[in-house]
């Protein structure tokens, strides 16, 4: 459902549509590492202090790019140049070709008909294969022994970003995206996200392989 079809429920300009077929995707040109998304997620879902369904990864911290702190990071990266300090919201992007789903031996992780990647807790045995399979660091094991499954089944139940599926079912955007001060977390269909990045004169931060995982081979072409 688009913003125009809702009744003012969707607040953030980064949330273009919700529900079936949506993706969550970061705009690194907009992220300022304020941590608002982390706080919004924890408050909305009452997560423990050490259980983060979204985190901000900062690369080249303190390093200025050739044109200063906020100069075309993605363009410079694509050109093989130093992008300078870059902050990236990392969470489950509910990938079209989700590696976590492929490697899960018990089908605890499933790609649902509406596009969300969900965890079926009753099937999870804590093997942590998904942690190795996901290139974005989404799987969390808050009940594991220091995050290491020494023998099969000791990793605890996997937890991750749900995409705020319950909120989206009532035409609200994910809490992280709605409360992002700079609209750095984009929510919508692949075409909507590609168009929004182009309008912002931004580009994806990920390489072609990662884009094909998130959006699928065909929709990944929309970003080129």
The CATH number linked to 134 is 3.30.70.20
Higher local confidence (pLDDT), 74 or 22? 22
Least confident of 66-75, 116-125, 147-156, 177-186: 147-156
Q: Are 33 and 87 in contact (CB under 8 A)?
A: yes
Phi–psi pair at 10, nearest 5 degrees: -85, 120
pLDDT digits (tens, 9 = 90+) for 136-182: 999 998 877 654 545 455 678 999 999 999 999 999 999 999 999 99
Cα distances from 130 to residues 2, 63, 79, 134, in angstroms, run 32, 33, 32, 6
Q: What is the pLDDT of residue 72?
A: 80
Whether 193 has a pLDDT exceeding 90, the answer reads: yes
- Predicted confidence band at 5 (pLDDT cuts at 50, 70, 90)? very low
- Average pLDDT in the chain: 87
Q: Tokens for 95?
A: 């990938």
Asked if the structure places residue 109 within a domain, the reply is yes
Which residues fall within 8 angstroms of residue 189, CB to CB, at 6 or more apart? 16, 17, 21, 22, 23
pLDDT of residue 60: 85
CB atoms within 10 A of CB 57: 15
Answer whether residue 151 is part of any domain: yes
Q: What is the pLDDT of residue 2?
A: 47
For residue 4, the model assigns a pLDDT of 45
Q: Is residue 127 part of a domain?
A: yes
What does the pLDDT average to over 174-195?
96
Band (pLDDT 50/70/90 cuts) for residue 64 is confident
Q: What's the mean pLDDT in 110-120?
A: 96
> Which among 88, 69, 99 is positioned nearest to 186, based on CA atoms?
88
**Which pLDDT value is given to residue 94?**
97
Assigned domain for 108 exists: yes
Residues of the chain with pLDDT > 70, as a percent, come to 87
DSSP alpha helix (H) spans, the chain: 36-45, 73-78, 99-103, 129-133, 165-168, 175-178, 190-199, 208-215, 217-220
For residue 7, name the pLDDT band (cuts at 50, 70, 90): very low
Domain span at residue 127? 104-160
Q: What is the mean pLDDT of residues 29-35?
A: 93
Return the pLDDT at 67.
63
Maximum distance among all Cα pairs of the chain, rounded to whole angstroms: 51
The pLDDT value recorded for residue 3 is 46
How many structural domains comprise the chain? Answer: 1
Pick from 146, 151, 144, 160: which is nearest to 109 by CA? 160
User: Would the pLDDT of 10 be above 80?
Assistant: no
Domain-located, residue 125: yes
Of 11 and 187, the one with more pLDDT: 187
Confirm whether 186 is domain-assigned: no
Distance of CA 115 to the CA centre of its chain: 14
């Amino acid at each position: 459902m688009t913003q125009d079809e809702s009744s003012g429920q969707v607040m953030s300009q980064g949330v273009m549509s919700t529900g079936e077929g949506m993706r969550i995707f970061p705009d690194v040109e907009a992220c300022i590492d304020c941590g608002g998304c982390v706080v919004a997620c924890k408050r909305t879902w009452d997560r423990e202090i050490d259980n983060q369904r979204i985190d901000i990864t900062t690369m080249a911290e303190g390093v200025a790019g050739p044109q200063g702190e906020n100069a075309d990071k993605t363009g410079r990266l694509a050109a093989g140049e130093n992008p300078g300090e870059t902050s990236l919201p990392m969470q489950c992007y509910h990938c079209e070709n989700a590696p976590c789903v492929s490697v899960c031996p018990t089908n605890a992780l499933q790609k649902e008909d509406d596009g969300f990647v969900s965890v079926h807790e009753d099937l999870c045995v804590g093997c942590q294969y998904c942690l190795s399979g996901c290139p974005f660091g989404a799987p969390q094991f808050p009940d594991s022994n220091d995050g290491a499954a020494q023998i099969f089944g000791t990793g605890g139940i996997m937890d991750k970003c749900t995409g705020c599926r319950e909120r989206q079912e009532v035409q609200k955007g994910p809490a992280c995206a709605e409360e992002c001060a700079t609209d750095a977390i984009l929510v919508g269909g692949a075409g909507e996200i590609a168009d929004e990045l182009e309008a912002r004169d931004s580009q994806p931060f990920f390489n072609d392989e990662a884009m094909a995982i998130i959006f699928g081979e065909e929709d990944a072409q929309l970003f080129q």
